Amino acid sequence: MTEQVETHEFQAESRKVLDIVINSLYTERDIFVRELVSNAADALEKFRHKSLVEKPEFDAHVPLEITIDCDDKKHTLTISDTGIGMNRQELETNLGTIAHSGSSQFWDQLAEAARKDINLIGQFGVGFYSAFMAAKKLRVQSRSWDGSEGHEWESDGGGTYTIRPCPGLHRGTRIIIELKDDAHEYATKFTIERIIKQYSSFVPFPIKVEGKTVNTVQAIWTRSRNEISEEEYTEFYKFIANTVDEPLYRLHFSADAPLGIDALLYVPKENYERLGMGRMQPGVNLYCQKVLIDQHSENILPDWLRFLKGVVDSQDLPLNISRQTLQDNALVVKLRRVLTKRFLKFLKEQAQSDAEKYKTFWQTFGIFIKEGVTTDFEYRDELGGLLRFASSKSDNGALVSLDDYIGRMREGQSEIYFINGPSRTALEHGPYVEMFRKRDIEIIYTLEPIDDFVLNHLGEYDGKKLVSADRADLRLPPAETGTTEEQAEDEKKEALETDKVTALCSWLREVLGERVQEVVASDRLVDSPAMIVNADSYMTSSMERVLQANAQEENLTMTGKKNMEINPANELIKKLSHLRESDQDFARDVAWQIFDNAMIQAGLLVDSQQMVSRSYRILEKVAEGD
């Protein structure tokens, strides 16, 4: 038997390859376990196909499985499979020449791959050699499915390997790893179980660690939807999301073009960011042939979909030699686009089929859709259709889409109007909606400061511009046909004369100084005496409130320019016009109070101390009059 032992040297270039694989290519040591398990699964799959065609009799009774044994006393790890196995020539071909090539060209390509982290594993299959990251010696015992005698391949990775006969083997391959001194943890059952559960939970053959099957959860995403029960879907969600509750939504789909994809995505019931538990990490894992490639992948979905849980499996993606980074960015972009568009289409369908359930989704995860509108131009139109807000035409608690709004737009209306405020009640009692209500024009109520950023980033939807009601250049559609003159007369009744309005506006501009850019007569106030509008069309009051809240010091010059519009038909404005001629000081206090009140209704900051002092002066003056 000794005479049959053969010792061979790795070629010089192959030795360099081995150095790269061991010392440079892989960034995580755990990966070698995944690579060896994946190779074992491939061998089992090959034998399964072979057995269907050729019906081999040798070891036909041996079950298809992977077994792993840990010896923490001898510091060895043994990984065995009952797959197709290798004969002597295959051992030398597959292991001895390192990926079937010893050429300098191959070494140059591999060295470049290590530097750039690009794809080679599918071309050269060097994953086996990752075991040398943890092994001081490898022994590979294998016997082919054809029943020929078994052999053992052995190497310490130091430049030579030996091949010798190894009688008494069953079909398959056994890899015995003698661990380095700093890698003894891989001889413990706990460590191996952890790695298997992380990377190889869905390998389609049993993986037994010390006799216990570790991969007990099925890769249900590869099965037909008709074959999977609701209980199976729920249990898989609990496993993949590490949770105990049920999902809100589930999307299971397959695609053949432009990439072969099997995806199973879940929407949780809770938004943990909203609960104050910090920023969520991506929750979708990327697999290739059921082997984990990228856990919590940041590449396959946009960041604003980080709340999703689930798996994506694509056999079309080339992987880098360490299986840790995707090679072809163009394919990653395609995968990302397919997944994103399919999920957005799914949300649109759900919103149409069950509005109440979608409302629950919106209230929980709507902030992510808004984030997408403001950060991702590619999907802005689709995301715009998913936005939901209250409006003047919706009942309390009901939400409307931009499509709903457009469907109810008046003839001749070309813009979508919105206004931001702290609550529906505050908006409906504020000055900005008065003319909308009078002319029966729907206006969207946005109740979060971010909403103005969202709608301004969206800009337009379905060809209709989105316009904030606190813009100075706002022009509302005329009243309905047949009532235009009547409404116009009603809106102008008992108003100050034009010359007095002009004089009052000029005086107010002088009194308020730098706090306003212009003071003008309003054509949209009905009952309120005045309101603040933004001279800068890009700046809305709610956007300014965000800037003020984030500012370290109050500095009104940092915010947008203000115009004040006054209502010439309002009794207070008419009295102020007379008062400024009879009592300038008192009139100035009233003017400032009107301005501050309008600022408060716009949700903007005022000097509270000055306002309180002024209010007392006004009250004192009123009391003297009584």
User: What average pLDDT is seen over the chain?
Assistant: 85
Q: Given this model, what pLDDT does residue 418 score? A: 95
Rounded mean pLDDT of 17-28? 67
| 81, 44 Cβ separation under 8 angstroms | yes
CA–CA distance, 172 with 168 (Å, rounded to integer): 12
3-state secondary structure of 79: strand
Cβ atoms within 10 Å of 185's Cβ, excluding its own: 15
DSSP state of 255: E
Rounded mean pLDDT of 497-510? 94
> Above 80 in pLDDT, residue 102?
no
DSSP state of 92: I
pLDDT digits (tens, 9 = 90+) for 287-302: 888 888 888 998 899 9
CA–CA distance, 175 with 167 (Å, rounded to integer): 16
> Above 50 in pLDDT, residue 319?
yes
Task: Name which of 460, 477, 431 is nearest 603 in CA terms.
Answer: 431
**Beta-bridge partner residues of 209:** 68, 212
3-state secondary structure of 313: strand
pLDDT digits (tens, 9 = 90+) for 41-73: 989 999 998 888 888 889 889 999 999 999 999
Q: What angle do CA 357, 363, 366 make, to 5 degrees?
A: 105
Return the percentage of the chain with pLDDT > 70, whole number: 83
CA–CA distance, 27 with 429 (Å, rounded to integer): 62
Q: Given this model, what pLDDT does residue 1 score? A: 44
Q: Given this model, what pLDDT does residue 117 score? A: 44
3-state secondary structure of 608: helix
DSSP 546-579: HHHHH-SS--GGGS--EEEEE-TTSHHHHHHHHH
525: number of CA atoms within 13 Å, CB side? 25
Report field, pTM of the whole predicted structure over 0.95: no
Rounded mean pLDDT of 312-319? 79
Most confident of 87-96, 339-348, 511-520, 526-535: 339-348
Q: What is the 3-state secondary structure (H, E, C) of 109-163?
A: HHHHHHHHCCECHHHHCCHHHHHHHCEEEEEEEEECCCCCCCEEEEECCCCEEEE
What would the two tokens of residue 366 be? 């709507």
Q: What angle do CA 346, 351, 355 make, to 5 degrees?
A: 150
CA–CA distance, 350 with 401 (Å, rounded to integer): 13
CA–CA distance, 248 with 230 (Å, rounded to integer): 13
Residue with the bigger pLDDT between 359 and 216: it is: 359
pLDDT digits (tens, 9 = 90+) for 514-562: 889 999 999 889 999 999 988 775 566 666 665 655 554 455 444 557 8
Q: Given this model, what pLDDT does residue 623 score? A: 85
Q: Given this model, what pLDDT does residue 75 score? A: 97
Predicted confidence band of residue 23 (pLDDT cuts 50, 70, 90): low
Q: Given this model, what pLDDT does residue 579 score? A: 92
Q: Given this model, what pLDDT does residue 337 score? A: 94
Q: Given this model, what pLDDT does residue 111 score? A: 57
CA–CA distance, 481 with 465 (Å, rounded to integer): 23
Q: Given this model, what pLDDT does residue 107 score? A: 47
Return the CA Rg of the chain: 36
Residue with the bigger pLDDT between 168 and 325: it is: 168
> Above 60 in pLDDT, residue 20?
yes
Amino acid at 567: N
pLDDT digits (tens, 9 = 90+) for 258-276: 888 999 999 999 998 887 7
Residue with the bigger pLDDT between 319 and 309: it is: 309
Q: Of 13-17, 436-440, 583-587, which range is least confident?
A: 13-17
Tokens 């399919």 correspond to what residue?
342
Q: Given this model, what pLDDT does residue 120 score? A: 37
Q: Given this model, what pLDDT does residue 121 score? A: 37
CA–CA distance, 407 with 613 (Å, rounded to integer): 50
What would the two tokens of residue 323 be? 């299986």
> Above 50 in pLDDT, residue 321?
no
pLDDT digits (tens, 9 = 90+) for 131-149: 988 999 999 999 999 989 9
**579 φψ region: left (φ > 0), alpha (ψ -120 to 50), beta (else):** alpha
Task: Name which of 175, 330, 312, 321 is nearest 251 in CA terms.
Answer: 312
Amino acid at 156: D
- Nearest 5°: phi and psi at 496? -60, 150
Q: What is the 3-state secondary structure (H, E, C) of 526-543?
A: CCCCEEEEECCCCCCHHH
Rounded mean pLDDT of 114-136? 62
Let me know if 424 is exposed, middle or buried by CB neighbors in 10 A (0-12, 13-18, 19+).
middle
Amino acid at 59: D
Q: Given this model, what pLDDT does residue 558 score? A: 46
Task: Measure Cα distances from 105 to 14, 108, 380 in Å.
Answer: 11, 5, 47
CA–CA distance, 323 with 126 (Å, rounded to integer): 11
Regarding beta strands 562-566 and 518-521, do their DSSP bridges make them parallel or antiparallel, or are they unpaired? parallel
Q: How far is CA 219 from the centre of its chain?
A: 23
Q: Given this model, what pLDDT does residue 569 score? A: 93
**504 φψ region: left (φ > 0), alpha (ψ -120 to 50), beta (else):** alpha
> Above 70 in pLDDT, residue 369?
yes
> Above 50 in pLDDT, residue 475?
yes
CA–CA distance, 529 with 591 (Å, rounded to integer): 11
What would the two tokens of residue 125 be? 């299959």
Instruction: Catalogue all structural domains in the chain, each as residue range(s) with its CATH number.
Output: 2-213 (3.30.565.10), 220-355 (3.30.230.80), 360-484 (3.40.50.11260), 495-625 (1.20.120.790)
